[in-house]
């Protein structure tokens, strides 16, 4: 299920939006000030953010700007500020959509669904080359994984496995599929080699407090976050 972060200081409005999104099948998190929104976005890696402008601690303009500097996800602004200047400023900062309060909750859910389809289904560009999971960063360009900036000592196959898992978050793969993707279809690899490589990758990640490689006994492995 896609993860939605609602950044809105009006608790009643946030709760109503949350209930509509839950009914639509999304996982929903709530932040009630701008700093909490940034902290939760870093920790949870949401798939979309619903963002108010007038929030305590850090306003929506700065939140949008800082999100855009580190994440490539849809940002939908929902604000009572309806001036053209505010809308232009938000779109210049990288917002994908702008809903003026008051608005229809059903329309909000439709806009959320549309943005998620545009980003994750209809987008034919390469998948995101840099992915964050809390303190862990996986960079497909540099072939490096780091925790709080410290590069992990992964072998080429361990990184390729991590890269494959995180590019296909929450998808379950059998050992043969992993062999095809990590070692290649032309190379003969015993399935036990997959289990050994997974164990070594998991050990290195768990030393840094990262525990997202899940074994589904008899079926395979997945990156669950």
pLDDT digits (tens, 9 = 90+) for 88-123: 888 888 888 999 999 999 999 999 998 888 777 655
Q: Where are the domains of the chain?
A: 3-120, 132-223
Give the distance between the most distant pair of CA atoms in the chain. 63
Paired tokens of 131: 């992915």
In CATH, the number for domain 3-120 is 3.40.50.2300
- Return the CATH number of the domain spanning residue range 132-223: 1.10.10.10
Give the range among 48-52, 127-131, 153-157 with minimum mean pLDDT. Answer: 127-131
Separation between Cα atoms, residue 70 and residue 104, nearest integer Å: 30
What number is the average pLDDT over the span 24-29? Answer: 94
Domains 3-120 and 132-223 share a fold: no
CA distance 34 to 58: 4
pTM here is: 0.57
Beta-sheet strands, E only, within 106-174: 130-133, 136-139, 144-147, 150-151
Res. 202: pLDDT tops 70: yes
Highest mean pLDDT of the ranges 22-31, 134-143, 162-171 = 22-31
Query: How much is the pLDDT for 124?
Result: 47
Distance CA 197, CA 62 (A): 42
- Residue 206: partners with Cβ closer than 8 Å, 6 or more residues away: none
Residue 125 pLDDT exceeds 60: no
């Amino acid at each position: 299920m896609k993860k939605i972060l609602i950044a809105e200081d009006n608790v009643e409005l946030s709760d109503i939006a949350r209930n509509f999104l839950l009914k639509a099948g999304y996982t929903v998190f709530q932040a009630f000030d701008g700093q909490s929104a940034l902290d939760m976005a870093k920790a949870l890696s949401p798939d979309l953010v619903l963002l108010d402008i007038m929030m305590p601690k850090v306003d929506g303009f700065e939140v949008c700007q800082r999100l855009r500097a580190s994440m490539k996800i849809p940002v939908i602004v929902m604000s009572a500020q309806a001036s053209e200047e505010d809308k232009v400023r938000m779109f210049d900062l990288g917002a994908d959509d702008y809903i003026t309060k008051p608005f229809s909750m059903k329309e909000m859910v439709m806009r959320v669904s549309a943005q998620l389809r545009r980003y994750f289904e209809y987008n034919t560009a390469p998948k995101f080359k840099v992915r964050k999971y809390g303190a862990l960063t996986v960079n497909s360009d540099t072939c490096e994984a780091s925790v709080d900036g410290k590069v992990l000592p992964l072998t080429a196959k361990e990184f390729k496995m991590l890269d494959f898992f995180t590019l296909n978050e929450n998808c379950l793969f059998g050992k043969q599929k992993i062999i095809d993707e990590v070692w290649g279809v032309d190379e003969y690899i015993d399935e036990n080699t997959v289990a050994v490589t997974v164990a070594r990758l998991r050990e290195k990640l768990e030393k840094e407090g990262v525990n997202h490689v899940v074994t589904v006994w008899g079926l395979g492995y997945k990156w669950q976050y």
